[in-house]
A and B are shown apart, each in its own frame.
Chain A
């Protein structure tokens, strides 16, 4: 299992696509992920679908509903990850909502996630203030930690996040939920700059990274990676009737991002 450290030490800006596990179904999801890796993804960020994703905009909400309707569960999601790990050697960040972890049993969840081949677990609705509820579990399972900072986080909070982060800091580019956006906001540039100023922990930018030029702009101000979510997940939604087209369009978009970085 390759590590985040290997990716960040390689010197290139990490391209991190996000997909919802089991969207639109397990088999297609595997094919999409395979195409993304072939086209140059360095790390995968994968979400377990949840009924009430408060940090997500409409595109990912719909993906969650599709995956849930197709029968995805946290247990099946971990099995799907182990299938990905069997085929490809790539670091995987898991994105979940706290209720799923809580219901599974936090200790068991972290252990099984590690066993499946996950490198880190990011809980969207668990802030740094309550990091201690999961930090020891993550470390004893041998996982890295990932926490979020956002444009309205104070420097003091960013420092706290950096102290607890062993993988990378997930910098949210805007005040808002996930979703494709036309332009990269000034707040995205500012949060990267501010975070880089207070820590040497790698910083990856997410939320609204929809175009290759957004990724290039983030890289230019020092981002160590970019997370592309809604734009890719939207391709699933737009091509539901032609699964081959989903895979092709994902591959093409990842190639475009890759060449921009």
Chain B
């Protein structure tokens, strides 16, 4: 990633950077919230530890990113929103996470599939972002890359165990991949925000992350004896998706649960 090649005005780059960092933060926050639902529900004690550990890493990433997104926004608007303002006081349409991370934990295979597809993407992303021209983004990426490498490895091992386990586990894993697969496309779809930040050397071109992800996922599927699903990508109305705040119906419930206490006590400190 090199400098501001297309010479976009700085104000445009700043606006896009704030939006981009918010997306990264929302992905991490919602992925963490989904995993955290599984506390004391793992198939064995080791998984209770591992899933909580991953949820905690993602929450740590989310907090730094949301805090930074709030400060970038403040420079543009003069109004500061803290990490908690952003997490608890926005509605569904204002969240810009990819829809993949909000998909429910239907069974353990769905959790594994979602984590495999997402952390495969996150590792490509944070590897690229280590070279970001934005020091804070590069700093987050430097730490996150080690964490998501473990998340990806954890998910890949389970995908292989389930795919190459029993008949039941293989069927469940295949079904879970089918269910999650249609939401992977938007991880790699460029738009105005990603084009601007990529040109400025701040962000990564999502399309550029795809070959590495494809190769990794194909390798895991081959080892697991699973096939790449052929299900079509799900687009929102007018091609809008999570990045534009157009989500699945699942997100509203997730946010209702996550936000209600915070919202019941306006202005309180916790």
Q: Are A and B bound to each other?
A: no
